[in-house]
Amino acid sequence: MAYGCRIGPSILNSDLARLGTECRRMLDCGADYLHLDVMDGHFVPNITFGHPVVECLRKELGQEPFFGHRVREGGRLTHSSHLMGSIFVDMHMMVSKPEQWVKPMAVAGANQYTFHLEATNNPGPLIKDIRESCMKVGLAIKPGTSVEELAPWANQIDMALVMTVEPGFGGQKFMGDMMQKVHWLRMQFPSLDIEVDGGVGPDTIHKCAEAGANMIVSGSAVMKSDDPRSVINLLRNVCVEAIQKRSLDR
């Protein structure tokens, strides 16, 4: 059982006028990574931000991308390594053409590129492109998409994201029946990172953790809290306890 528990605040729920400060505040409160929602107004009925914001955040947080030596491939220069700072940035790409933004996000400083299965007819080349851009691969599914559709790709990705609300807007009610998908994935792919996103907080974390989720995205429950550190700690403790119990039960 190789996976561990990580808590990632969704910064879409922050004060966007103070984005750098808000991200630093979350990291100082114990967040393991930052979850950034990218929406294009096509795949979902909302617009947020793109790779220029990621690039600015990298500079603001003092963790700019470091590129290794460059080599020539097919007549063009490409980076042979892409070493990032300690701040892990997970991009949730709610966009209709995820292929279009892989390179810009990699250059901007993203660590993980999570695209939606519903947004492409050919995930294979996209997964390959993300890997070649030296980012981890996340694959997300909407509530209406069966988990079996994700299964053929599970051994090629680093993380599966099970949406627990309809993607597009924050503050929606948690969909508890999505935990069946999480549980199925955990049983079929024991070492896979499984992320949940949407309506996750102190009232719903037990269901997520018991089902097998280990990457916990929490928006308003963390960002709007008067004491985000205690909320992050609570989410982590519940998740860790569930992982330990699962390990003992095996």
For the annotated catalytic residues, the residue numbers are 37, 197
Euclidean distance between the first and the last CA atom of the chain, given in angstroms as a whole number = 10
How much helix, strand and coil, in percent to the nearest 5, is found in the chain?
A: 40, 20, 35
Q: Provide the pairing of β-strand 136-141 with 159-163.
A: parallel
How far apart, in whole angstroms, are the C-alpha atoms of residue 49 and residue 33?
Answer: 18
Q: Is 24 helix (H, G, I), strand (E, B) or coil?
A: helix
Contacts of 173 (CB under 8 A, 6+ apart): 165, 199
How far apart, in whole angstroms, are the C-alpha atoms of residue 80 and residue 14?
Answer: 35
How far apart, in whole angstroms, are the C-alpha atoms of residue 16 and residue 77?
Answer: 36
